[in-house]
Structure 1
Amino acid sequence: MTGSAPQHNHGQADKPGAQDAQAQVTPQWTVRDAVIDFARRVGITTIFANPGSTELPMFRDFPADFRYVLGLQEAVVVGMADGHAQITGNAALVNLHSAAGVGNAMGNIFTAFRNRTPLIVTAGQQARSILPFDPFLAATQATELPKPYVKWSIEPARAEDVPLAIARAYAIAMQEPRGPVFVSIPADDWDQPAARVAEREVAHVMRPDPAMLARIGALLDACERPAFVVGSAVDRAGAAADVVQLAERHRARVYVAPMTARCSFPEQHRLFAGFLPAMRERIVELLDGHDAIFVIGAPAFTYHVEGSGPHVPAGAQLCQLIDDPGVAAWTPQGIAAAGNVRLGVQELLARAAPKARELPAPRAVAPRALPPAAGERMSAAFALQTLAEVRDPDGIVVEEAPSSRPAMQTYLPIPRAGAFVTMDSGGLGYAMPAAVGVALARPGERVIALVGDGSSMYSIQAIWSAVQLRLPITFVILNNARYAALQDFAPVFGFAPHETVQGTDLTGLDFVTLAAGMGCPGARVSDAAQLADTLRHALSVDSANSAHGGPTLVEVIIA
């Protein structure tokens, strides 16, 4: 598994004139050699995995220049790989255990699909020779299990086809819209002969249609009060600076699309207008007064509850630039260009400057969150305001605290693209392992994992991986002893005020003790006066559990 072909002794050449010395022969590669060689060539030298028996042959003779990152549960493995791939911009390689392992991982495979994260997910399969007998641990119809939440799925027909399948999987995962792919590999394939994958290069982005971009540009030039709505694909494409320039040129207010997983516009910029909720009527209300709405790198629009009426305000024209033609296909009205977001925005910037417009009024500044009264718990708003004041503003936040997200959007502004990661899916169990992957991709930088108490219990095993890797992660657990998002959402589905919502109370959880059991130091804060100093200490590399910095946890008791 070194990527260099082993030297096998095939004997002396049996031909007239053969020399007495051993003949020089072409070295024989195995599937393992060819796969590792290809992975090395495309820059994938970290493997995120949880091992099983059918995967063991993959890792024999593990190469010294590769890194194996162990997760204690398969959903954790995929979450770590997702965070790493989002920050590096390159596909991550994930190895899972046959059917049961893939099943455990499906929640975060779904999230990776919604996040448009390029992952090559491999899973072991029983040896080909015993598959006809339905053996223990075999995956029946292995390629069907992860569908429809992978872009492509295959179990190669022959062992020698595995390296080419991996190469094809990489190209598909990286092609916009990016996403996870799946390859099932029988255990006895790894030692079979295989050829080296030929040098190849596949374009990963496509330029949007120039004619459609010209129509979008003309609409923006002619309007009076434009609004931009930005989504995750802006940050994925590295287009945030271009979007800022385009917004400044058109003097457009900039909103964040509902359920957006990344920061695609600096939230302290004068043109920043706030976050749109996943409700049709509220979106129309907030966008009212704009005559052109340009949605960049996001669906138009993501909804969470039923709605009625128009999708945009009366008199407004909708246009869209998105990396996913499948999303453009269901945009309810207007015009849409599909292709790489950065290339599209740069083409719009190449147009002549539009007519001068007045600068819109800045967004109102929220009042400061007040500390709690004596005997009361602090609010999420106060906790997040304090975190914003003591943290490095250029640091990365990985978030999964759904009920506290409105407070976070108000009191913990993200000042730059690339500094915020969450999930587009709404599935829980993502942020804690994703923070591990982010920290691996940004060595030396302290990462904040901001997680709710309920969310954290889906993948708290990620703390163990962070400890073993000595990663500088500060896990901030907002503990309100409940699934607050569900309780807050219950009235939408007809619950009466103060009616009990079954299955939403979470009592008796001690996150400091849980962290300590995995080797991570922690502190619990219920006194608002102690919060700033506790967070400041936890965010210091010197405060961690190793000389090089490591993880620490702060459990914040909130109302």
Structure 2
Amino acid sequence: MTGSTAQQGMSGRTQPARITVRDAVIDFMRRVGMTSVFANPGSTELPMFRDFPADFRYVLGLQEAVVVGMADGYAQATGNASLVNLHSAAGVGNAMGNIFTAFRNRTPIVVTAGQQARSILPFDPFLASTHATELPKPYVKWSIEPARAADVPLAIARAYHIAMQEPRGPVFVSIPADDWDQPADYVPVSEVSTVTRPDPSMLARMGDALDLCAQPAFVVGGGVDRAGAVEEVVRLAERHQARVFVAPMSGRCSFPEDHRLFAGFLPAMREKIVELLGGHDLICVLGAPAFTYHVEGSGPHIPPGAQLFQLIDDPSVAAWTPSGTATVGNIRLGITDLLARPAPKTRPLPAARRASPRAEASPLMSVAFVLQTLAEIRNPADVVVEEAPSARPVMQEYLPFTRSGTFLTMESGGLGYGMPAAVGVALAKPGTRVIALIGDGSSMYSIQAIWSAVQLNLPITFVILNNSRYAALQDFAPVFGFAPTDPVQGTDLPGLDFVTLAAGMGCRGVAVKEASQLRGVLNDALHTAGPMLVETVVA
């Protein structure tokens, strides 16, 4: 894929050779570590992959949403941007749900899509994307179709740097099919900063408030784990004896849930948040919005008399924070600066969180019993990728996460992310057991990911919680005026056989209907070399 290094000019001097767009792009991707390409092929993308480099890996997904989900999990696990290749407008359209999720997850992904040849674009040809740069908006940080073929490598380089700058997120480059063999200028790899240190004066105000308050509370979100700042947050909480809550809809483990100061999870409801934070005179929100709501609410956003300080890497989130003081910048650098201050006065240790009662076996297993059993036999270093919205409150009670990087879920609320994201995580962390904890309804959005897991022989345990319904919607219906006995249309899911579905893609599966079988089957699945599916029939 490389051209000659020099050519003879008319003056007799040796001139640098003109390399192709393909050469320049591949060279750049190799230099920044984007050598895994997550893709589903189409005709307008084929020229990109001619003479595919031996040191690159093509990761095939059977549908575009699966492709983006795999790339999301991979990028979150590696900390580096991943590269996705989609098929023109139709492929981008199929992928949009998980592009939206990547945007909410703050995941750095360079999304490329094929475009028809430049020479026939004026004739509205078959497979052309008429408004290519507009299609993925507003859920990409930057979108471009380069004006010239020679500009494609620089567009890819710029896209990578924008994706990696905080707040991180997906970017989009549309590339006409005939660009790849055109000459391109060489693109050097420049050093570009990806983080910004928070304003010292704003941090000083937060530090002063922490030193002077009587009962501080921290609220942590996914930004803490993304920044690699979990240990620093633990030290800061211990220094101030602050209770630590997890922000609503947080997608990562940002504080050990077995820690003495861990206080639990905030729901996405304004009045409930105020109630749970009551008694605290200072609220420090770290790496999360303040706050994410799911239903309409009223009244104050924080307890009366309390102050709110926020440290966030996203200026757009800081801009809509309804009260308090927001500081924008890298979470780890900000916490490090707070820890550099003189030690404050000592405070009494706050009351510990109440332990949940044990879940007992029953003729029809409860979700709590399944997750309690999983918690007892899994290795704390195993990574759990969750997409079971109705089971999440139960998971928060019975399946604690104690280590950074061991929990992922979608921050968008959109389904179809969890199963392919588990594939991406497993690819990024060879030898690590990945557990995909998925609801029966959620699984059907991207179940093709099982095929990719089988082809790659990845150590993934797919645990399906099968209650034969969209339970989250049925549980949520009373908020919108449904009586307890009112039917909720479109929420029953009878007749799904996940063991048979898995077998059709070459994956071993076992259905568990009795509590006495659960521990043995899960233990087997967690020690199987390749992928295995466990369907748990639950109440």
The bucket for the TM-score relative to the shorter chain is over 0.9
Q: How does 1:247-262 map to 2 (within 5 A)?
A: 247-262=237-252
Instruction: Name the structure 2 match of 1:545.
Output: none
Q: How does 1:357-396 map to 2 (within 5 A)?
A: 357-372=347-362, 376-396=363-383
Q: In the alignment, is residue 180 of structure 1 matched against residue 181 of structure 2?
A: no
Q: Give the residue type in structure 2 aligned to 1:153.
A: S
Q: 1:229 is matched with which residue: 219, 230, 233?
A: 219
Instruction: Name the structure 2 match of 1:529.
Output: 516
**Distance (Å, rounded) in 2 between the aligned partners of 1:517 and 1:327:** 44
Q: Deviations over 1:184-239 (max 9, x none)?
A: 00000000000221231110000011000000000010000000000000000000
Instruction: Name the structure 2 match of 1:404.
Output: 391
Instruction: Name the structure 1 match of 2:414.
Output: 427
Q: How does 1:19-168 map to 2 (within 5 A)?
A: 26-168=16-158
Instruction: Name the structure 2 match of 1:270.
Output: 260
CA shift for structure 1 position 315:
1.1
Q: Deviations over 1:18-68 (max 9, x none)?
A: 7xxxx9663331000000100111111100000000000000000000000
- For the residue of structure 2 that corresponds to 1:143, the secondary structure is coil
Q: How does 1:5-24 map to 2 (within 5 A)?
A: 5-6=3-4
Instruction: Name the structure 2 match of 1:291.
Output: 281
Instruction: Name the structure 1 match of 2:343.
Output: 353
Q: In the alignment, is residue 447 of structure 1 matched against residue 427 of structure 2?
A: no
Q: In the alignment, is residue 456 of structure 1 matched against residue 436 of structure 2?
A: no
- For the residue of structure 1 that corresponds to 2:490, the secondary structure is coil
- For the residue of structure 2 that corresponds to 1:254, the secondary structure is strand
Aligned residues: 539
CA shift for structure 1 position 13:
6.6
**Distance (Å, rounded) in 2 between the aligned partners of 1:247 and 1:391:** 28
- For the residue of structure 2 that corresponds to 1:142, the secondary structure is coil
Q: 1:501 is matched with which residue: 449, 470, 488?
A: 488
Instruction: Name the structure 1 match of 2:295.
Output: 305
- For the residue of structure 1 that corresponds to 2:98, the secondary structure is helix
Instruction: Name the structure 2 match of 1:553.
Output: 533
Q: Give the residue type in structure 2 aligned to 1:55.
A: E
CA shift for structure 1 position 362:
1.0
Q: Deviations over 1:384-430 (max 9, x none)?
A: 00111111122100000000001100000001111000010000000
- For the residue of structure 2 that corresponds to 1:353, the secondary structure is coil
Q: 1:201 is matched with which residue: 169, 191, 201?
A: 191
> What TM-score, normalized by structure 1, do the two folds share?
0.95
**Distance (Å, rounded) in 1 between the aligned partners of 2:126 and 2:189:** 38
> What TM-score, normalized by structure 2, do the two folds share?
0.99
- For the residue of structure 1 that corresponds to 2:133, the secondary structure is helix
- For the residue of structure 2 that corresponds to 1:149, the secondary structure is coil
Q: In the alignment, is residue 329 of structure 1 matched against residue 319 of structure 2?
A: yes
- For the residue of structure 2 that corresponds to 1:436, the secondary structure is helix
CA shift for structure 1 position 286:
0.3
**Distance (Å, rounded) in 2 between the aligned partners of 1:26 and 1:349:** 52
CA shift for structure 1 position 14:
6.1
- For the residue of structure 1 that corresponds to 2:183, the secondary structure is coil
- For the residue of structure 2 that corresponds to 1:261, the secondary structure is coil
Q: Give the residue type in structure 2 aligned to 1:353.
A: A
Q: Percent identity?
A: 76
**Distance (Å, rounded) in 2 between the aligned partners of 1:76 and 1:500:** 32
Q: Deviations over 1:493-530 (max 9, x none)?
A: 00011110000000100000000000000100000110
For structure 1, the 5+ residue unaligned runs are: 542-548
**Distance (Å, rounded) in 2 between the aligned partners of 1:7 and 1:284:** 66
- For the residue of structure 2 that corresponds to 1:345, the secondary structure is helix
Q: Give the residue type in structure 1 aligned to 2:91.
A: G
**Distance (Å, rounded) in 2 between the aligned partners of 1:6 and 1:473:** 44
**Distance (Å, rounded) in 1 between the aligned partners of 2:56 and 2:17:** 23
**Distance (Å, rounded) in 1 between the aligned partners of 2:428 and 2:337:** 31
**Distance (Å, rounded) in 1 between the aligned partners of 2:519 and 2:380:** 15
For structure 2, the 5+ residue unaligned runs are: none
- For the residue of structure 1 that corresponds to 2:535, the secondary structure is strand
Q: 1:465 is matched with which residue: 440, 448, 452?
A: 452
Instruction: Name the structure 2 match of 1:546.
Output: none
Q: Contact 2:198–2:334 at 8 Å: present in 1 too?
A: yes
Q: Contact 2:28–2:189 at 8 Å: present in 1 too?
A: no
Q: Contact 2:284–2:310 at 8 Å: present in 1 too?
A: yes
CA shift for structure 1 position 288:
0.3
- For the residue of structure 1 that corresponds to 2:162, the secondary structure is helix
CA shift for structure 1 position 7:
6.5
**Distance (Å, rounded) in 1 between the aligned partners of 2:225 and 2:309:** 19
CA shift for structure 1 position 141:
1.0
Instruction: Name the structure 1 match of 2:403.
Output: 416
Q: 1:485 is matched with which residue: 472, 485, 488?
A: 472
